[in-house]
Structure 1
């Protein structure tokens, strides 16, 4: 009962039904009390996981299959591969850079509305792209506007799953991100078939119809709601001149003036909790693996802090103010002063410059080596399926307390570097299969371990801010990778240098990330230890 009353006093208003003679002056904030159960960790949450899976499948599937279409676009517009590659890079870059804006929109209107809106924007952009007269307009319509729409689908899908799960977070997140791998597996053959039969314009129209179905899956992202709750308990009267605090209540009733019964009325309306009210929303592991939440009491206290924080944000009526609050949380540039974060940020920039070069050019490289078009496009599918399995596997491995997530993360980047450098030495389908498998393993660890590594290095309180800046860094870097690879091909008439440069960038990223522990100063370590719970 003590814990219940302590919790109520912290987040809301005590409304005592007493006689006029027994009324006590309560010196606490006059706000309603919000009481909700913890996330369901199942039930309807699995429907949300399915919806997120399908959204990930379509958004990443379309992005990863751009390499299948690039040759037709080069012929149609008569531009170089370096110039044409900007279309796909702007699409992927805009998808990531739109993350903070999508978060703000979801915080104001909910994940459901954000996802539906994004699907409509992307569908219109893909459909209108067939009318673009120049490659520049295609960059704007298909790349930039389509990327904004995809970003408004992608981020709400990730956020919504994190809001429905705590202890089963790792499994739920692992399933939904598998959509990305399945998209990379299914879409390249589909794009090849559509290109061969309907051309790139017919393919884009089909993609428009496919991405529009995300509106259906977005409608399944039902938000958690606050429910009206009545709590009855017995409290003691305190002198009217004394402000209410827990110390005012004695275990011995004789030490107070009067003891009386009171009904604590939780008088609230159904309300939607803003997603970014949860500081763990981008964390892909289970909360029970974190030291802060290794007891049920800690989880309950955390949920209450979520509600009080969220409710203060939900009172914002003006759209610019609401979006401004979210953007300030995601893009708090004071984190740039943290050397540990900056090392990881710089490492991510190098990674993302190189990331899409294999996706865009491995098919063309295989064709030059005499591999049939169908087999060449299957390499992307192979990367996709390995990426799918790898994300699930690394998610479970990272949940083990004995695993050094940062070391595993860095090892995956190193494997990606080696795989990319070896692509120019492949001359048969079998060798291309081998490097595709190793590349898929590497990128699966790099993507799935990002949030886990950020929490390990910076703590859960910094995750939202760190994640917002990281996706901004990655989105900006992804813009230049594919065009750079295409420009190198235009200059040398060979993809060898494109892959060598990409592999070198991955290697630099791995070396920088391996150096992260050296930047975690003693001051930072002492601060982390001070924040650690006593019973941890």
Structure 2
């Protein structure tokens, strides 16, 4: 099977072939991690009834899974860099499956925090980042489309798993449902086994020792080297990192508070749940179509601008939400927010890869998803606190919209500064290579030089005549 064009031992991204198997594996990884994480909230009522806990105590399980998955993302990058993405995903599948298995036998809520919250979340962290990074190694020309398909597993998985998990709870109780989920998540080990390593041409250009180290994936140290995280000093990545902090602070609030807000406006429970279904389906559409569109030649140079546009549109949707007080008005919000949410999610790895390159993509994604962890943990409680003190959801949606618009504005400012710096640098180089004359020639000097040349030419002609 052809993996890419081989040059001096390295290969270029094949943009197909085994790469589509990698996309399928990443799709299943997002189903088994992000979709399963969303479905954990279905167990809340069962946990409350069995352990006698209130909603806030039970909600910490979901927060711990989500936060641990993001904060421990650099651990997944470290394992994949030291061994391979294959080892990281298989190890993560084993840990997360064991975490769900132990959770089915737990008799205490505190132990459930560890088994379902920390252990399962750590396993998801080991799988998520390396699988996404492998897609970037196998694709270059159709990278956005590949990521759109791979990351759509979150929305499709939620759409399919949510009713299935509810059915499992009704038939086998919550313990039996966790056992089935444990077996389902163990498929991560199969996905990891299919992640075949690839050595890119970029790796071949590195010093011999570093290239040999990456080719073997050999274990040399328990700590990351400065070489692996040298991209942290890039101004473009620093601007991207700051914008991700604001993005993570604002993007999760509508998913948490859309249904309660709809109910507060008089929308029925069925209609409020249907809004979430619309949002989820359009999230899938945004993943795939926006990735396909930004792979076209006319839009490929403007992928960062497309990313900024999608984040900005999400922010504007949130700012207008308090004006939407009925189900027909909330449907357009669910459509637009869901579509642009899927759009920017598909472009996060693409934009990150454009900044740091495919060689450092795994480490960079670990940092990017780590930055999502703390905002994911604290923004929903802050949004709830605003609802408590104001008595409405207006301030919460304004906070979400402001954070998303700030994220887009930071990237716009960073891109503008980089463009101005590039123009100034180019102008300085042009001036340096084409120096201006120190002084202009005098007109009389020009006349004398011309006359002298004419006289010399006449003399040469006269001498030629005399000789012949």
| Shared fold, TM over 0.5 | yes
CA contact (8 A) 2:129 2:362 kept: no
SS in 2 for 1:188: helix
Distance change >3 Å, CA 493–CA 147, structure 1 → 2: farther
After superposition, what is the alpha-carbon deviation per residue over 1:68-101, rounded to whole angstroms, capped at 9, x for unaligned? 4445555655656555433223222222222221
Partner of 1:46: 20
CA contact (8 A) 1:331 1:469 kept: no
| CA pair 179-317 structure 1, distance change in 2 beyond 3 A | closer
**C-alpha contact (below 8 Å) 1:84/1:483 kept by paired residues:** no
CA distance in 1: counterparts of 2:58 and 2:387, whole angstroms: 12
Is the partner of 1:181 in helix, strand or coil? helix
Q: Any conservation in 2 of the 1:126–1:142 contact (CA below 8 Å)?
A: yes
* Greater share of helix: 2
Which residue pairs with 1:446 in the alignment? 344
Residue 224 (structure 2) aligns with: 324
State whether structure 2 residue 241 is matched by structure 1 residue 345: yes
Change (3 A) 1:468 1:113: closer
Contact 2:145 2:295 in 1 (8 A): no
Aligned residues of 1:67 and 1:359 also touching (Cα < 8 A)? no
What residue in structure 2 maps to residue 360 of structure 1? Answer: 256
Q: Give the whole-Å Cα distance in 2 for the aligned partners of 1:363 and 1:197.
A: 27
Aligned to 1:384: 280
- Cα distance in 1, alignment partners of residues 426 and 349 from structure 2: 18
Q: Distance in 2 between matches of 1:462 and 1:522?
A: 27
Residue correspondence of structure 1 range 178-193 to structure 2 within 5 A: 178-193=152-167
Report the Cα distance in structure 2 between the residues aligned to 1:479 and 1:160, rounded to whole angstroms: 27
- Tell me the alpha carbon deviations over residues 286-338 of structure 1, each in whole angstroms, 9 at most, x when there is no partner: xxxxxxxxxxxxxxx646326954313456754535x523xx44544852xx5
Residue of structure 1 aligned with 2:396, choices 476, 480, 498: 498
1:477 & 1:408 partners in 2: Cα distance? 24
Structure-to-structure mapping, 1:229-268, within 5 angstroms: none
1:473-484 equivalent positions in 2, closer than 5 A: 473-484=371-382
Describe the shift of the 1:108–1:140 C-alpha distance in structure 2 as closer, same or farther (beyond 3 A).
Answer: same
The question of whether the paired residues in 2 share the 8 Å contact of 1:188 and 1:378 is answered with no
2:211 to 310, 322, 342: 310
1:217 and 2:191 are equivalent in the alignment: yes
Instruction: Verify the 8 A CA contact 1:97 1:472 in the aligned structure 2.
Output: yes
Q: Aligned in 2, Cα 1:405/1:56: closer, same or farther, shift over 3 Å? A: same
Gaps of 5+ in 1: 1-6, 9-34, 225-272, 279-300, 532-536
Instruction: Give the stretch that moved more between structures: 59-68 or 347-356.
Output: 59-68
1:454, distance to aligned residue in structure 2 (A): 4.1
Q: Which residue of 2 aligns with 1:228?
A: none
Q: Secondary structure at the match of 2:17?
A: coil
Distance between the aligned counterparts of 1:209 and 1:60, measured in 2?
16
Contact 1:82 1:483 in 2 (8 A): no
Change (3 A) 1:504 1:85: farther
CA shift for structure 1 position 66: 4.4
Shift of 1:386: 1.4
Aligned pair 1:509/2:410, yes or no?
no
Counterpart of 1:324 in 2: which secondary structure?
coil
Q: Give the drift of 1:61.
A: 1.0
Preserved CA contact (<8 Å) 1:80 1:490: no
Q: Secondary structure at the match of 1:42?
A: coil
CA shift, 1:148, in A, is 1.2
- How far apart, in 2, do the equivalents of 1:100 and 1:154 lie? 10
Shift of 1:118: 0.9
1:340 is displaced (CA, Å) by 4.0
Deviations 1:195-248 (A, max 9, x none): 566665554344323212222222222334xxxxxxxxxxxxxxxxxxxxxxxx
2:102 and 2:383 map into 1 onto residues whose CA distance is 27
Aligned to 1:96: 70
C-alpha distance in structure 1 between counterparts of 2:54 and 2:394, whole Å:
17
TM (normalized to structure 2)?
A: 0.75
Q: Alpha-carbon deviation of 1:107?
A: 2.7
Partner of 1:11: none
Q: Does 1:434 align with 2:332?
A: yes
Corresponding residue of 1:418: 316
Q: 1:377 to 1:165 in 2, by over 3 A?
A: same
Verify the 8 A CA contact 1:489 1:497 in the aligned structure 2: yes
- In 2: Cα distance, 1:196 partner to 1:494 partner: 35
Greater Cα shift, 361-370 or 499-508: 361-370
Select the residue among 169, 182, 188 that pairs with 2:143.
169
Closer, same or farther: CA 59–458 of 1 in aligned 2, 3 Å: closer
Secondary structure class of the residue paired with 1:41: coil
Give the SS at the match of 1:320: coil
Match of 1:115 among 89, 104, 122: 89
**Map of 2:121 onto structure 1:** 147
Counterparts in 2 of 1:380 and 1:163: CA distance versus 1, 3 Å: same
TM-score, normalised relative to structure 1: 0.67
Assess if the C-alpha contact under 8 Å between 1:330 and 1:465 holds in 2: yes
